[in-house]
Amino acid sequence: MHELSTVYYVFDAVKKLMVDNHLQEVGAVTLQVGEVSGIIPEYLESFWQFARKKTALFQNTELKIEPIPAVTYCQACRSTYPTVPQGKTCPYCGSGSTFLLKGNEYNIKEIEAK
């Protein structure tokens, strides 16, 4: 149910953006979703469809999802590599002292006025 709370979080954030930008209606919201954010885009999309029907303000608002690839940094050899296929072990030097650079976040990239 992580995705449903994300939808309501995005609704609140978009409402604020609408007030700031003096918008009456929003045609589309583009959300960037990190590969390892724990948010499953298909679920997010279906909860969006469910939630917008119950929210007058967003009844005609489409959701667009852009994935953010996850990238990990290796402190031992200072390389970066894609997180999803490799996990926490550096594919170049085999070190485990790595940390995630990006990919566990989500952001509203843009909203399109109707």
Q: Which residues bind Zn ion (CB under 5 A)?
A: 74, 76-77, 90, 92-93, 95
Using an 8 Å Cβ cutoff, are 7 and 44 in contact?
A: yes
Least spacing, CB of residue 98 vs Zn ion, in Å: 7
Least spacing, CB of residue 81 vs Zn ion, in Å: 8
Least spacing, CB of residue 38 vs Zn ion, in Å: 25
**Nearer to Zn ion by C-beta: 40 or 93?**
93
What is the per-residue DSSP string for 6-48? HHHHHHHHHHHHHHHTT-S-EEEEEEEEETTSS--HHHHHHHH
- Using a 10 angstrom Cβ sphere, with 0-12 exposed, 13-18 middle and 19 or more buried, the burial of residue 19 is exposed
**Nearer to Zn ion by C-beta: 47 or 81?**
81
Least spacing, CB of residue 70 vs Zn ion, in Å: 16
**CA 2 → CA 32, 40, 41, 85, 101, distances in Å?**
16, 9, 11, 24, 22
**Nearer to Zn ion by C-beta: 84 or 93?**
93
**Nearer to Zn ion by C-beta: 40 or 77?**
77
